Amino acid sequence: MDRDRIRWLRWIGLALAALVAVYLAIPAYIWLASEAVIDRRYTLPRSLVRAESTPDALARGARLAVIDGCADCHSANLTGKLLQSDPAFPVFASNLRALTATYTDEDFDRAIRRGLRPDASSLWAMPSPAFVYVHDDDIAAILGYLRARPPAGAETPPPSFARSARREIVQGTLQPMAPLVLVQMPAIDLGPHYDGGRYIAMMACGSCHATELIGSTDGRAPDLNVTTHYSREQFFDLMRKGVGARGYWLPTMGPLARKRFHILKDWEIDPLYAYLVARAKAPTIDQISNSIR
């Protein structure tokens, strides 16, 4: 009987030891797996973009910075700010004016369009997937505008990751920007007649609706096929005033129109509307495939 009791106690001890080991191993695995993602280094692509400092380029750069929403994240004077106060994953937008002292034009271009820091690690909050298709000359104009501003302030803190944020990294619900850039698809190409509207759609709308214009994965931003519900006049009101097709102020588009899109010219909104309507009416891949079977 004593031997049986000893045997059972031994098994219970082994089971408890195994449970403790698992309890300790899971946090260790989460930390190591998340650290591998955080510390990953990517290939730094070459960039031939150089800041353009002509008066026309500076004016265009200032305008593009508004349309692209640079001030929304980096503050009106571009010195950065706290975007997300969640203690598990506090997010600071960079002080762009402080970075002008250390970042080359190549560094800025890779940060904007590739989501990469100069050390080849990934940015976490920069919406680089929305800007991957921005043209070289527009990036050059934005950089010229930025470098025309005198340096000011200190760099903002780097990202930090508490246990819950690291768990999200392992689960894949919190992802770095650099790999997302590589899978970001462009909007459908409907030919040269629609090139201007397509480009504006990807550049101005891509941060919310994705550059493919299919909407956000969380459903908060719709596929831009919804443009077919708007007349031309209603679409102008949407972009300039943030008013929907039914005449109501929209809580998401309202602030964006007031801060960013109200400066769009008629010759920019017109082709944007024409492209989005044509895109909505274009046959899908599945429809084309079914028609030739």
pTM: 0.86
pLDDT for the residue 61: 96
pLDDT for the residue 87: 83
Rounded CA separation 99/94 (Å)? 8
pLDDT for the residue 169: 94
Residues of the chain where predicted confidence (pLDDT) is lower than 70: 1-25, 284-293
Rounded CA separation 167/153 (Å)? 33
pLDDT for the residue 292: 54
pLDDT for the residue 174: 92
pLDDT for the residue 115: 97
CATH architecture for segment(s) 55-162+175-182: Orthogonal Bundle (1.10)
Judge: domain 192-280, CATH 3.30.360.10.
no
